[in-house]
Structure 1
Amino acid sequence: MQVNSSYGVPSTTPPSALSIAREFVGYFAVSLAGLAVDAIVLLILISGCGLPVVYSSVAAFMAGLAVVYLCSVKFVFAKRRVAQPAIEFFTFAMLGIAGLLLTMLIMQVGTQQLHLDYRWTKIGAAGASFICNFALRKLVLFSRA
C-alpha cells in the first residue's frame, strides 16, 4: 500500500515509469534551486558579511538542503512514508551523506588513481551523487510503504 502526502490514505496503484520520470525531472529542478540558494548564501556570508569560509559553507549547504527538502515534499514527491516532518528532514539529510561519500570516492579515484582533471571528475561525481540521492530518497522516504 502506498501512503500519499496526507499520511495514511492507502493507495494500491503502483508508480508508473512516467510518474517516476516526472519526479526525477522535478527533483532535478529543485536540486538546481537548492544549489542556487547554496551559492548565493555562500557569496553573501563570505563577501557580504566577512564570515569564515568553513562556517559559511556549512550554513549555505544547510540553506540549500532546506530548499531541496521543502520543494521536494511540496512539489515533487506525492507519496510520503514518514508522518513527522522533523524525522523526515533528518532522514532526508542523512541520505544526502551517501551522495557526499560517493562524490568523495569518485573525486579520489578520478583525480588520484586515474589522473583525470578535477573539473571533469566533478561533473561525473555530481551526476552520480544526484542519481544516488534521488534513488535513496525516493526509495526510503517517498515511495509506497
Structure 2
Amino acid sequence: MQANSSYGVSSVPNSSALSAAKEFAGYFAVSLAGLAVDAVVLLILVSGCGLPVVHSSVVAFMAGLAVVYLCSVKFVFASRRVEQPIVEFFTFAMLGIAGLLLTMLIMHVGTQQLHFDYRWTKIGAAGASFVCNFALRKLVLFSKT
C-alpha cells in the first residue's frame, strides 16, 4: 500500500497496534496455560472428588488465575502501572472477579438450567471470561496511561 497523506494511510504498521496484538496473543497463550490448570482442577474436583460443579469452578478458576498472573507479568505485558507486586496481584485478582462472576453465571445457567455437560459449558465460560479479563486488565494495569 502506498502512503497517501490526504487520507492518512501508511504502509508502516502502527507500533502500538502491533504491541497490543502481540500482548493479546501472549495473553491468549498464558490464558490457555491457565485454562489447562483450571480444567484439570475442575475435572479432578468434580469427577474425582464428587464436589459440586459451581463450587469446583471457583477453586479451579483461582488456580488458573495464579498461573495467568505469573505468566502475564513475566512474559506478556510490556507496560505496568503498579510498582508493588502485591498490590498489582491483588488488583489483577480483583479484576478477575468479573471473569469469575461471569464464569459462575455461565456454569450455573449452562449446567443447572440448560442441563449442558459441565465440560462443554466450561468452554463457553472460558471464552467469555478471557475477553472480559484481558480488556479489564489491559485497561487498568498494563497500559501506558
Task: Report the TM range for the smaller structure's normalisation.
Answer: 0.5 to 0.7
**Counterpart for residue 135 of structure 1:** 135
Inter-partner Cα distance in structure 2 for 1:89 and 1:34: 15
Q: Where has structure 1 moved over 6 Å in runs of 4 or more?
A: 41-46, 54-59
% same residue: 80
Q: Is the 8 A contact 2:98 2:132 kept in 1?
A: yes
Aligned residues: 129
Greater radius of gyration (CA): 2
- The 5 A counterparts of 1:89-100 are 89-100=89-100
Structure 2's unaligned 5+ residue stretches are: 1-13
TM-score (norm 2): 0.67
- The 5 A counterparts of 1:19-98 are 19-38=19-38, 61-98=61-98
**Counterpart for residue 124 of structure 1:** 124
- Tell me: higher relative CO, structure 1 or 2? Use CA pairs within 8 A at least 6 residues apart: 1
Structure 1's unaligned 5+ residue stretches are: 1-13
Inter-partner Cα distance in structure 2 for 1:140 and 1:59: 25
1:85-117 Cα deviation digits (max 9, x unpaired): 00000111111110011122334455566x373
Q: SS state of the match for residue 143, structure 2?
A: coil
Across the aligned residues of Structure 1 and Structure 2, the Cα RMSD in angstroms comes to 3.7
Q: SS state of the match for residue 72, structure 1?
A: helix
